[in-house]
Amino acid sequence: MSRPTLVTGGTGTLGRAVVRRLRSRGHAVRVLSRRPRPPGEPGPDRVIGDLTTGEGVDAAVADVGTVVHCATTNGRGDVRAARLLTEAVRDAEHPPHLVYVSIVGIEAVPLSYYRIKLSCEGIVAGAGVPWTIQRATQFHDLVARPAVAQRRSPIVLAPADVDCQPIDVRDVARRLVELVETGPAGRAPQLGGPEVIALADLTRRTLAAEGRRSRVLSVPLPGAIGRALRSGGLLTRDHAVGEITFDQYLAERTNATHERRH
Ligand SMILES: NC(=O)c1ccc[n+]([C@@H]2O[C@H](COP(=O)([O-])OP(=O)(O)OC[C@H]3O[C@@H](n4cnc5c(N)ncnc54)[C@H](OP(=O)(O)O)[C@@H]3O)[C@@H](O)[C@H]2O)c1
């Protein structure tokens, strides 16, 4: 029988989709999380651990065939996490294939989180373990977030003249599971969503889907970050392979909210 797949961050936005896809394809799945599974909630095996302290990491990696690394601390802790995880993978009796999820355009856009992602890519690629790096564009959930975060405001701010190519986590999960099945690929082809749309327009669509009348105010982002974003730093037009559109995502989200309320 093939060895299980470990999903770090298997409780997160992408990780949950990866876990679902793996299970639907018949893979045995293990999740690394800092929290125990809530009582009564069904789901795969869970190892409790913390990638920034190293707690539980060796146990999580033991006997797995692949690690899909979806966990993120959304900051500096990611570098330490990547280091601890790659060491655990290297020290395993049969080192598993390590798949790291990264972001399109991280060398073009000088955001601090993107610098951290670049460092993590370097750690994964240089660790002497079987590896794959999969870069993707922004997830639909992330793009819909500014409108959610400014929920009470009659005016919602969005960066002016910035295009985005959002992708659904189910499309990313499908690719990641293909990589689990085909094995180490080094730098895999980038993964972009099906459409390029202005961020301000995506915010307007999110507001409309939520039945809100707030006005979207486009604000130019200053400095090098603004310039990089305006010149298409987040895009990968030649890899527009995602299938699920942002409007589909919004419609499904609206239906799910409606069903929960009725
Ligand atoms: N969001 C985007 O638009 C986007 C686009 C391209 C690539 N990516 C990349 O895709 C990956 C997944 O992003 P996401 O948005 O799905 O993340 P997310 O929803 O914020 O989930 C983060 C996950 O990380 C886990 N985690 C956080 N700190 C941890 C720690 N110290 N030890 C162990 N686990 C920890 C959390 O698990 P517990 O709380 O259960 O411990 C959670 O499941 C990230 O690498 C991100 O950079 C994101």
Pocket test for ligand 1, best of 53, 70, 124, 239 (most atoms within 8 A of CB): 70
Is 167:191 a contact under the CB 8 Å cutoff? yes
CB atoms within 10 A of CB 17: 23
Alpha helices in 38-168 (DSSP H): 57-61, 77-91, 112-125, 140-143, 145-149
- Report which DSSP code applies to 155: E
Going by C-alpha positions, the residue among 241, 224, 212 that lies closest to residue 107 is 224
- Report which DSSP code applies to 213: -
One pLDDT digit (tens) per residue for the chain, 262 residues:
689 999 999 999 999 999 999 999 999 999 999 999 988 888 889 999 999 999 999 999 999 999 999 999 999 899 999 999 999 999 999 999 999 999 999 999 999 999 999 999 999 999 999 999 999 999 999 999 888 888 788 899 999 999 999 999 999 999 999 999 999 999 999 999 999 999 999 999 999 999 988 999 999 999 999 999 999 999 999 999 999 999 999 999 999 887 877 7
- Report which DSSP code applies to 146: H
| Domain 5-261 listed as CATH 3.40.50.720 | yes
The pair phi, psi for residue 226, each rounded to 5°, is -60, -45
Pocket test for ligand 1, best of 14, 29, 50 (most atoms within 8 A of CB): 14
Distance 70 CA to ligand 1 centre (A): 5
- Report which DSSP code applies to 114: H
Any idea where the domains of the chain sit in the sequence? 5-261
